Amino acid sequence: MKQVVIYARISTNKGEQNIQQQIDYCKKYAIRENLEVLKVFKDEKTGKTNQRRGYERLLIYLKENKGK
């Protein structure tokens, strides 16, 4: 079984975007495709900044787990 991580992001808090819907969609896709989700990273309300802690954590996680 292939292993994957999920990264979800919304840029605003106007209510028209829902980060949990994105995550749920990705998890359902993973189940359909027989993929194991190892971790979920997310960033919310990042439209006005380039600082994305979830994305930064994702990159660190990938570097630390490369080849595993």
- Give the residue from 19, 15, 16, 14 showing the smallest Cα distance to 52: 19
Find the radius of gyration of the CA atoms of the chain: 13
What is the domain extent for residue 11?
A: 2-64
Total residue count of the chain as it appears in this document:
68
Residues 11-61: pLDDT tens digits? Answer: 766 666 789 999 999 999 999 999 999 999 999 876 666 778 999 999 999
Q: Which CATH number fits the domain that encloses residue 46?
A: 3.40.50.1390
For the full predicted model, state whether its pTM sits above 0.85.
Answer: no
For residues 6 and 27, the answer to whether their CB atoms sit within 8 Å is yes
- Name the residue with tokens 């209510």: 15
Structural domains of the chain, count: 1
